[in-house]
Structure 1
């Protein structure tokens, strides 16, 4: 199996088959290079490495994406974190921790995105 195929398998495990299908359906001649890069390097190489588990990687991703103000990517990775075993309380603490180091506006946006995902997953009223 190639690194790209490995990456797509990990994406499906993290975020679900539906997410992967939408991602592949959005593929075109303009974005195929960046999609292949993400599949191969991000997921097929880095996410596939030993050393830390997927839940730990998800925690890191959430913190970095909140700090960088990347709500679209954060949405996907909150879903992945839930699939990797992060609880609602852990997500709350991760994002609250970001308020101290990345700023309150970034954390507020992070809470908003995480709440949307939690509601969609039936984990919040």
Structure 2
């Protein structure tokens, strides 16, 4: 598959998962230097990983919450809360993913993950 095909497939999936407004704002705010990153993440994460068969989007979303929480990427975790909801995950399923983060990554990571998720969920219902 040509790089441009991988980018286009990734861009479609990225917009589907994160929302057109969010993705388009990221792309519009990227100069030539930052477009190198945008292209890489769109092709690799979205065109390759998120577009693979084998796991549904909801499962990928919940796994991503666990990974981001475990790595301490709480600002990103907040973004992916909305993606998890859009993929069909329930608030209870998100809570359970956060419990796993708390148990396996420690209470400081769990607390920060719960706080980030709580903020994202509040803004989602406002």
Same fold (TM over 0.5): yes
**Which stretch of the first structure deviates more once superposed, 68-77 or 37-46?**
68-77
Report the Cα distance in structure 1 between the residues aligned to 2:39 and 2:75, rounded to whole angstroms.
Answer: 19
Equivalent residues, number: 123
Higher helix share: 2
The residue correspondences of 1:28-67 to structure 2 (distance < 5 A) are: 28-67=31-70
CA shift, 1:72, in A, is 2.0
Q: Which runs of 5+ in 2 are unaligned?
A: none
CA shift, 1:33, in A, is 1.1
**TM superposition outliers: structure 1 runs of 4+ over 3 Å:** none
Report the Cα distance in structure 2 between the residues aligned to 1:85 and 1:58, rounded to whole angstroms.
Answer: 9
Q: Is 1:74 aligned to residue 96 of structure 2?
A: no
Q: Which runs of 5+ in 1 are unaligned?
A: none
Per the normalisation by structure 1, the TM-score is: 0.93
RMSD: 1.3
